[in-house]
Structure 1
């Protein structure tokens, strides 16, 4: 690992704003995809402005249920510098989240990306056999993926119609699957 955790099992941190919708869904999907492929990882989620202890949005619970996931036990948590420091890969829902993570810990830039950018980069490197740390760095942040660049953002459906939640969930599921398909390591 990258000296961030000194554990043979990477810690993946998924970040959004409130940790009530996108990041818990993406974390649960990634955990399931990796488990199905026999790839060890610990997956957690956090928010940059999370209402601590709050339950997920009811519409995301429905969207998750449509994907055979149960997020009812999830409670929102805020991102910490300790969590960032321990993480082997940090997947953010927006470029703004990437910028917030990197502002908290500049060293995290080498292992932080938006989910969409990470999936695109991973799919272009399928078949390569890097170490996990090398792979995380290939996926990582660049100035073009942070801040005001919205091209790699995952839409936040909070407060909108159910259709938006389903579209977000389907997109996140697709991107997580692409990422898991390219994940380094031996499969079962």
Structure 2
């Protein structure tokens, strides 16, 4: 079954459409099954992709004829994995769809393999969740928590892909290169995850096969033992009959 991936940016006319189109093309080249869509957190439906983004995709011989889509509950529910272009997009999406927290990441965060960085990110997200909760109650984070949040944000590398909107064609090419590098690592990770899942399924099937063999062997042994017992009983009956016959002849 193909994985469903949703890319999210602001207007859904630059970064996320480029990511959508490039991933679809790259995955097809690898023979990896995937369904891809994109959306924006601050847009309306039906806007065309920006001229520079269209040019960048054409230069890479990547086809795209989509139009903008505003983020929706339907799109969030459809996706197996939601990848945003910035941390801000991620927070905006989760404020509206908190149920998607376990499948929503920034693109660069998702492909990063540094466990220490990921641990810092989890702590930042926890502190921001507390901040939003306290703000709703008219409260504030404590001094120690604010200091810790600032410290974490300073040392965590940027997981944002900068918005090229309004920039030059060169800036769009630079943005596309950054996205492409992340997509290459994304496909590597997804294929690795798929290999692990297939290995677990094969292992489970092998266990079932071995169990079936053992069960068949046990049933065979039971049948063999039953036959031997019945044969033995038959021999006993035969011997008994022969003995009784001899006794009868003696009486005559």
TM-score, normalisation: structure 1:
0.78
- Total equivalences in the alignment: 162
- Cα shift at 1:92: 0.2
Structure 1: give runs of 5+ residues left out of the alignment: 1-7, 126-137
CA–CA distance in 1 between the matches of 2:194 and 2:61? 26
Distance in 1, Cα, partners of 2:13 & 2:125: 23
Task: Determine if contact 1:93/1:153 at 8 Å carries over to the other structure.
Answer: yes
d(CA) in 2 for partners of 1:74, 1:82 = 18
Matched-pair contact (CA < 8 Å) for 2:18–2:57: yes
Q: As a proportion of its length, which structure holds more helix?
A: 2
For 2:176, the equivalent position in structure 1 comes to: 169
| Selected match of 2:82 from 85, 90, 93 | 90
Mapped partners of 2:124, 2:38: distance in 1? 24
Kindly state the Cα deviation for residue 113 of structure 1 after the two structures are TM-superposed: 0.7
Q: Is 1:28 matched up with 2:17? A: no
Q: Report the Cα distance in structure 2 between the residues aligned to 1:19 and 1:143, rounded to whole angstroms.
A: 29
Q: Say if 1:143 and 1:18 are closer, same or farther in 2 by CA, change over 3 A.
A: farther
Q: Give the TM-score of the pair, scaled to structure 2.
A: 0.59
Q: How does 1:5-154 map to 2 (within 5 A)?
A: 8-71=1-64, 73-121=65-113, 142=122, 144=124, 151-154=158-161
SS at match of 1:142: helix
Larger radius of gyration: 2
Say if 1:10 and 1:80 are closer, same or farther in 2 by CA, change over 3 A: same
Distance 2:158 2:73 in 1: 27
Structural RMSD (CA): 2.4
What is the CA distance between 1:63 and its match in structure 2?
1.1
Q: Is the 8 A contact 2:25 2:62 kept in 1?
A: no
After the TM superposition, which parts of structure 1 deviate over 3 Å for at least 4 consecutive aligned residues?
Answer: 141-150
* 3-state DSSP of counterpart to 2:90: helix
